[in-house]
């Protein structure tokens, strides 16, 4: 007979108290696999972390919890409610899962002797962008604001406090919003559609759309929330919105989706959150239709689509890094773009380490690297804005 919810809550308490046996851990994990993690267990761990934070010596308390809150799982074990584990993020540095043959959950606060030493405290990115006008002028946008709005002949900050610029002509003008490495920004277009730009991205768009068409160009990554605009045509009730990017053109009526089209990545990925979009490949004009929860992939290998967990691909918009079965190089590539750093693999090129998990994008770089270092075989050194990757089990050269 399977364990009841009451029995599992007892095992969870024994796990917290470090009095659980290996057989009981196996029973608990089997239950998690089939039923998810109980709210009671989530609450118990949250209380433990709260106590640690309120303690007169929180570092010591959390280090003690590090030993308690660690599950060794087999590769096939996956909780249906993994996201619940991330509720404790405010109380600790982060959550990471690491695995090749096995998987481990780590809820970790770096110990003093594990901390990566750096001459500078590299902080996360923030609101950074420039807007380029049709005549070539470049304006740097205020980092204390998060976005701009196009209203009539003016471009203003979205908090309504001040005007960025007044457009001199009523004719459509080509504008370019650009974010650097370590920058994000938001723009509300003339039709009311909103676009969030991720780091190292460029969006080209008109100051207002000509009748009958709405077209923008993207390089990098952006999240789109497209507003439906009615037309007077009896054939087409809503004005199409098109996003032109590497390898493809996306056509939508009104929907929410994420596009990742970085120049240094082989494929362009379009992830649909809501509505319906059509993707046309630039190479062979083949097209596919996406529905919510699907991701279209276009590149040298052609055009295709898969079912995905949408939250994994809009993590950046929600202020998180979410990694799911990503290689160390993929993880470090994303980190480098956000923290505006370079990665040096001359001392070690990780081949088969796989990472999954979540961490706030507001964490400083040292925190993120300490977690990766604790979870796997990697070790890091920081010199200026370059992160040198080493194997932590080999002596320094």
Q: Report helix, strand or coil for 29.
A: helix
Q: In this structure, how many other beta carbons lie within 10 angstroms of the beta carbon of residue 81?
A: 13
Terminal CA-to-CA distance of the chain, rounded, Å?
57
Q: What whole-number distance in Å separates Cα of residue 228 and Cα of residue 270? A: 19
pTM: 0.73
Residue 164 CA to its chain's centroid (Å): 29
Measured distance CA(355)–CA(334) in Å, rounded: 13
Lowest pLDDT segment from 155-169, 231-245, 367-381: 231-245
**What does the buried/exposed string (b/e) look like for 98-128 if buried means 16 or more CB atoms within 10 Å of the residue's CB?**
bbeeebebbbbbbeeeeebebeeebebbebb
User: Regarding predicted confidence, which is higher, 228 or 374?
Assistant: 228
Return the closest-CA partner of residue 82 out of 360, 357, 375, 353.
357
| pLDDT for the residue numbered 200 | 97
Neighbour-count burial of 221, counting CB atoms closer than 10 A to its CB (0-12 exposed, 13-18 middle, 19+ buried): buried
Q: What share of the chain is helix, strand, coil (3-state, %, to 5)?
A: 25, 35, 40
Residue 282 DSSP symbol: T
The DSSP-derived string for 326-389 is EEHHHHHHHHHHHHT-EEE-SS----S-EEEEEEETTS-HHHHHHHHHHHSSEEEEEETTEEEE
User: Who wins on pLDDT, 48 or 319?
Assistant: 319
Query: Which residues are within 8 A (CB) of 94 and not within 5 positions of it... i.e. 6 or more apart?
Result: 108, 357, 358, 359, 360, 363, 367, 368, 371
Query: In whole angstroms, what is the distance from residue 23 CA to residue 27 CA?
Result: 6
> pLDDT tens-digit profile of 167-207?
877 788 999 999 999 999 999 999 999 999 999 999 999 99
Give the chain's mean pLDDT. Answer: 78
Tokens, residue 227:
């507003």
Q: Residues 26-55: pLDDT tens digits?
A: 777 777 666 666 666 666 665 655 554 455
pLDDT-derived band at 243 (thresholds 50, 70, 90) equals very high
DSSP 31: H
What pLDDT is attached to residue 69? 39
The full DSSP string for 58-73 is HHHHHHHHHHHSEEEE
Q: By the 8 A CB rule, do 197 and 177 touch? A: yes
What pLDDT, in 10s, does the model give residues 301-310?
Answer: 889 999 999 9
Three-state SS at 45: helix
């Amino acid at each position: 007979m399977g364990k009841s919810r009451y029995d599992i809550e007892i095992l969870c308490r024994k796990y917290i108290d470090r009095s659980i046996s290996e057989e009981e851990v196996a029973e608990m994990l089997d239950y998690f696999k089939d039923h998810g993690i109980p709210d009671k267990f989530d609450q118990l761990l949250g209380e433990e972390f709260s106590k640690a934070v309120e303690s007169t010596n929180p570092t010591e308390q959390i280090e003690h919890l590090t030993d308690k809150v660690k599950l060794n799982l087999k590769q096939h074990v996956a909780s249906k409610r993994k996201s619940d584990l991330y509720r404790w993020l405010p109380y600790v540095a982060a959550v990471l899962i690491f695995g090749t043959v096995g998987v481990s959950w780590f809820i970790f606060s770096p110990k003093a002797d594990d901390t990566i030493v750096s001459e500078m405290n590299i902080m996360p990115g923030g609101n950074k962008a420039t807007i380029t006008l049709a005549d070539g002028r470049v304006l740097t946008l205020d980092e204390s604001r998060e976005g701009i709005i196009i209203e009539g002949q003016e471009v203003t900050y979205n908090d309504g406090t001040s005007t960025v610029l007044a457009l001199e002509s009523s004719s459509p003008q080509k504008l370019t919003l650009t974010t650097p490495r370590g920058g994000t920004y938001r723009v509300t277009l003339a039709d009311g559609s909103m676009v969030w730009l991720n780091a190292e991205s460029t969006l080209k768009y008109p100051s207002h759309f000509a009748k009958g068409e709405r077209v923008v160009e993207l390089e990098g990554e952006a999240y789109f929330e497209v507003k439906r605009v009615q037309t007077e045509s009896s054939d087409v009730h809503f004005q199409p919105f098109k996003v032109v990017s590497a390898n493809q053109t996306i056509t939508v009526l009104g929907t929410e989706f994420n596009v990742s089209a970085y120049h240094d990545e082989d494929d362009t990925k379009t992830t649909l959150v809501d509505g319906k979009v059509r993707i046309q490949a630039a190479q062979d004009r083949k097209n596919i239709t996406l529905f919510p929860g699907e991701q279209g992939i276009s590149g040298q290998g052609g055009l295709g689509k898969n079912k995905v967990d949408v939250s994994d691909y809009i993590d950046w918009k929600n202020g998180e890094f979410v990694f799911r079965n990503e290689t160390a190089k993929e993880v470090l590539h994303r980190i480098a773009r956000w923290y505006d750093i370079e990665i040096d693999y001359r001392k070690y090129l990780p081949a088969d380490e796989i990472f999954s998990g979540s961490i706030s994008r507001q964490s400083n770089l040292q925190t993120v690297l300490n977690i990766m270092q604790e979870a796997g075989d990697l070790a890091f050194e920081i010199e200026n804005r370059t992160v040198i990757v080493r194997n932590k089990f080999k002596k320094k050269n």
